[in-house]
Amino acid sequence: MASLVLCFADCELRVASRELRVKGRVRRIEPKVFDVLAYLATHHSRVVGRGELLEAIWTPGVISDAVLATSIMKARRAIEDNDPDLP
């Protein structure tokens, strides 16, 4: 069975090996940041809400908005998403 590779912009997410490549170069990212990228890339055709993302990525418990915001910031930085119009 072929491994799932999610491609967008100049990026490839190799799900089985948990590898992110940007412009052909491997980027090391934290496991939760990888999970956020993979979830968002898998559900790219729709808006993913905060609650859904928290439920899908983190185990039940108290997760602050800062944890989610930091993970998204790190994910955007890893894929070189520098859109000045986004937070």
State residue 28's pLDDT score: 94
C-alpha to C-alpha distances, 5 to 21, 45, 51, 64, nearest whole angstrom: 10, 17, 26, 30
- The pLDDT profile of the chain, 87 residues, written as one tens digit per residue, is 457 899 998 999 999 999 999 999 999 999 999 999 999 999 999 999 988 999 899 877 778 888 899 999 999 999 988 776 655
Q: What does pTM read for this prediction?
A: 0.86
Q: What is the pLDDT of residue 85?
A: 66
| pLDDT at res. 13 | 95
Which pLDDT value is given to residue 2?
56
In degrees, rounded to 5, the angle at the alpha carbon of residue 14 between the alpha carbons of residues 11 and 19 is 85
Beta strands in 1-87 (DSSP E): 5-8, 11-14, 19-22, 25-27
